[in-house]
Structure 1
Amino acid sequence: MRGVSARSSDQEANLPEALDFTPDAPIRSRAFRIGCVGSGFIMADVHLAAYHSAGFPVAAIASRSRDKAAAVAERWGIPVVHDTPEQLIADERVQILDIAYPPDQQPALIHLALRQPHIRAILAQKPLALDLATAEALEAECRAAGKILSVNQNMRFDQSMRVLKEILDRGSLGTPVLATIEMRAIPHWQPFLRDYGRLTLLNMSIHHLDVLRFLFGEVEEIYTGVHADPRTDFAHKDGICASTLTFRSGVMAVSLEDVWSGPRAPGYTGDIYIKWRVEGTEGVAQGTIGWPDYPDGSPSTLRYSSTIATGGDWVQPRWSTTWFPDAFAGVMEQVQYALESGTAPLLSGTDNLRTMALVEAAYRSVEEHRAVKLAEFGY
Structure 2
Amino acid sequence: MSVSELQPDAPVRERGYRIGCIGAGMIMAECHLAAYREAGFNVVAIASRTVSRAESVAQRWSIARVHESPQALIDDSDVEIIDIAYPPDRQPALIRAALATPHVKAVLAQKPLALSLPEALALRDEARRAGKILSVNQNMRYDQSMRVLKQLLDRRALGEPVLAQIDMHAIPHWQTFLEGYDRLTLSNMSVHHLDVLRHLFGEPDEVTSVTRTDPRTTFAHQDGIVGTTLRFASGLLAFSLEDVWAGPRGGGFEDDQVIRWRVEGTEGVAKGTIGWPHGAPSTLSYASQRETDGKWVTPEWRTMWFPHAFIGVMEQLQYALASETGPALTVADNVRTMALVEAAYKSAAERRTVRMSEVPVPD
CA distance in 1, matches of 2:235, 2:121: 27
Alignment correspondent of 1:356: 338
Alignment correspondent of 1:338: 320
CA distance in 2, matches of 1:248, 1:89: 44
Alignment correspondent of 1:270: 255
CA contact (8 A) 1:36 1:58 kept: yes
Secondary structure at 2:146's aligned position in 1? helix
Deviates more, 1:140-149 or 1:356-365: 140-149
Query: What aligned pairs does 1:152-231 form with structure 2 within 5 A after superposition?
Result: 152-231=137-216
What is the one-letter code of the residue matched to 1:65? T
CA contact (8 A) 1:18 1:309 kept: no
CA distance in 1, matches of 2:149, 2:234: 17
Q: Quick one: which of 52, 59, 63 aligns to 2:44?
A: 59
Q: Quick one: which of 25, 45, 69 aligns to 2:54?
A: 69
What is the one-letter code of the residue matched to 2:9? D
Alignment correspondent of 2:239: 254
Alignment correspondent of 2:125: 140
State whether structure 2 residue 7 is matched by structure 1 residue 22: yes
Q: Gaps (5+ residues) in structure 2?
A: none
CA contact (8 A) 1:288 1:300 kept: yes
Shift of 1:248: 3.0
CA distance in 2, matches of 1:31, 1:220: 41
Shift of 1:188: 1.0
CA distance in 2, matches of 1:51, 1:249: 39
Secondary structure at 1:210's aligned position in 2? helix
Say what the alpha-carbon RMSD is for the aligned residues: 0.9
What is the one-letter code of the residue matched to 1:213? R
CA distance in 1, matches of 2:351, 2:49: 41
Alignment correspondent of 1:36: 21
CA distance in 2, matches of 1:18, 1:279: 19
Shift of 1:19: 4.2
CA contact (8 A) 1:209 1:358 kept: yes
Q: Deviations over 1:91-138 (max 9, x none)?
A: 011110000000001011011111100101000001101111111111
CA distance in 2, matches of 1:250, 1:167: 19
What is the one-letter code of the residue matched to 2:349? E
Alignment correspondent of 1:120: 105
Secondary structure at 2:315's aligned position in 1? helix
Q: Quick one: which of 283, 308, 332 aligns to 1:326?
A: 308
What is the one-letter code of the residue matched to 2:317? V
CA contact (8 A) 1:183 1:275 kept: yes
Q: How many aligned positions are there? A: 361
TM-score, normalisation: structure 2:
0.98
Secondary structure at 2:229's aligned position in 1? strand
CA distance in 2, matches of 1:269, 1:18: 36
Alignment correspondent of 1:375: 357
CA distance in 2, matches of 1:110, 1:318: 38
Alignment correspondent of 1:280: 265
What is the one-letter code of the residue matched to 1:368? E
CA distance in 2, matches of 1:256, 1:131: 23
Q: Quick one: which of 280, 283, 307 aligns to 2:289?
A: 307
Shift of 1:67: 1.5
CA distance in 2, matches of 1:247, 1:352: 19
CA distance 1:136–1:20, change in 2 (3 Å)? same
Q: Deviations over 1:205-229 (max 9, x none)?
A: 0000000011001111100000110
CA distance in 1, matches of 2:56, 2:165: 41
CA distance in 1, matches of 2:18, 2:3: 38
CA distance in 2, matches of 1:28, 1:129: 30
CA contact (8 A) 1:19 1:316 kept: no
TM-score, normalisation: structure 1:
0.94
Alignment correspondent of 1:81: 66
What is the one-letter code of the residue matched to 1:312? G
Query: What aligned pairs does 1:96-111 form with structure 2 within 5 A after superposition?
Result: 96-111=81-96
Secondary structure at 1:323's aligned position in 2? coil
CA distance 1:373–1:252, change in 2 (3 Å)? same
Percent of matched pairs sharing the same residue: 63
CA contact (8 A) 1:217 1:248 kept: no
Secondary structure at 1:213's aligned position in 2? helix
CA distance in 2, matches of 1:94, 1:210: 29
Deviates more, 1:272-281 or 1:369-378: 369-378
Q: Quick one: which of 30, 33, 36 aligns to 1:45?
A: 30
Shift of 1:68: 1.3
Q: Gaps (5+ residues) in structure 1?
A: 1-15
Shift of 1:270: 3.0
Poorly superposed stretches of 4+, deviation over 4 Å? none
